[in-house]
Amino acid sequence: MAAPRSPPRARERERSRAPAAGSDQVHSWTLATSQALDTIWRMAKGFVMLAVSFLVAAVRYFRRLHLYSGHKLKWWIGYLQRKFKRNLSVEAEVDLLSYCAREWKGETPRTKLMRKAYEELFWRHHIKCVRQVKRDNYDALRSVLFQIFSQGISFPSWMKEKDIVKLPEKLLFSQGCNWIQQYSFGPEKYTGSNVFGKLRKCVELLKTQWTEFNGIRDYHKRGSMCNTLFSDAILEYKLYEALKFIMLYQVTEVYEQMKTKKVIPSLFRLLFSRETSSDPLSFMMNHLNSIGDTCGLEQIDMFILGYSLEVKIKVFRLFKFNSRDFEVCYPEEPLRDWPEISLLTENDCHYHIPVF
């Protein structure tokens, strides 16, 4: 028996329901795919953002590390340079006119005067170079002693006859100079019963170094030794204090001669005529003790220094250019056989070494 046939309307509804079901299935697949792609994109975007953030942080870190390392490296380089570089108190030779052009720029009257003075040194006195000397209250003593050592100048005649190491005790025991205990070592301002021991060590160092330099005939070797010695501040200051004491000893000796009515050099008559240096004690307290501390050498001190070391100190006073005081000598009337050393100054306070 044949199955009953569906009515036409029922068949039409079944046909229309079948495509709708297929469309829903496609839509669900599309939605799922879109959601999956959106999830993957969000994950990829988050990963990329994380990677970029990490990269930026890494760049900033390494940049800071680079700056920090560069700063520390620069500090260490500077430290090592300061540690191992010789701090020369007398610098190497530089061209005189180049030095003048660098130091004296402009068109002021003083600048023009100084340039003319340097040109005078270059063309008339044949000074081609200059050695700059460290600016402090020892620079006159430094300039003189450097040239004595570098030129190999021998001891003064009176030093060859006496043991200068024993001079501090000689002043105390032979001449009764108890006041020497008030001697001041420049900025140290040391006084006391042990002053004789300190002075003895200073004078002994001066004698040893002077003997060593005088025994070297090679000019370049003496120059190399000067560079070594004049880069040691502690040794330098001991030598300068020894020179100060030598000056004091000579003042004391001449003062004793004056008391016995002996003829003394005119420069010492001028020294003792001043109220502040009427005797060795006042000279030491009012003048000598300040050298190296608050002041350098005055002109009268330059006379005494030249006399004590038996050297003719010629000084070119550039600020006195075109006057009779442009070129002066300390002492004014040295003995003929005294060696000559030269200094130049722009203000009578600080000195440099001219090189002929």
The C-alpha atoms of residue 326 and residue 316 are separated, in whole angstroms, by 6
Does residue 282 surpass a pLDDT of 80? yes
The helix (H) or strand (E) run that includes residue 247 is helix 233-259
pLDDT given at position 1: 46
- Classify each residue of 298-327 as buried b or exposed e, where b means 16 or more C-beta atoms within 10 Å of its C-beta: eebbbbbbbbbbbbbbbbbbbebbeeeebb
- pLDDT, residue 254, reads 96
Q: pTM for the full model?
A: 0.76
pLDDT band at 39 (very low <50, low <70, confident <90, very high): confident
Joined tokens for residue 248: 């004091």
In this prediction, residue 84 carries a pLDDT of 45
End-to-end CA distance of the chain: give it in Å, rounded.
147
Mean pLDDT across 276-296: 95
Cα 301 to Cα 331: distance, rounded to the nearest angstrom: 10
Tens of pLDDT, residue by residue over 178-214, are 898 899 998 886 666 788 889 999 999 999 999 999 9
Q: Mean pLDDT over all residues of the chain? A: 87
Residues 6+ apart with CB under 8 A from 237: 138, 185, 186, 292
CA 66 to chain centre: 31
| Residues in a beta bridge with 328 | 315
pLDDT higher at 8 or 339: 339
Q: Which of 205, 219, 236, 238 is CA-nearest to residue 86?
A: 236
Q: DSSP class of residue 344? A: E
The larger pLDDT score, comparing residue 71 to residue 131, is at 131
